[in-house]
Amino acid sequence: MNEERIIYSIDEQLLQSAAEANLGRELTETELKRLPCVFTDNSEVFDGIYCALICAAEDAMDNKDGKWKQWDKDFKNKPLPRM
- CA distance readout (Å), 35 to 13, 61, 83: 14, 30, 25
- Write out pLDDT tens, residues 2-42: 788 888 889 999 999 999 999 999 999 999 999 999 999 99
- For residue 22, report the phi and psi dihedrals to the nearest 5 degrees: -105, -20
pLDDT class of 67 with cuts at 50, 70, 90: very high
Instruction: Provide the mean pLDDT of the chain.
Output: 94
pLDDT at residue 78, rounded to an integer: 94
pLDDT at residue 82, rounded to an integer: 86
pLDDT class of 76 with cuts at 50, 70, 90: very high
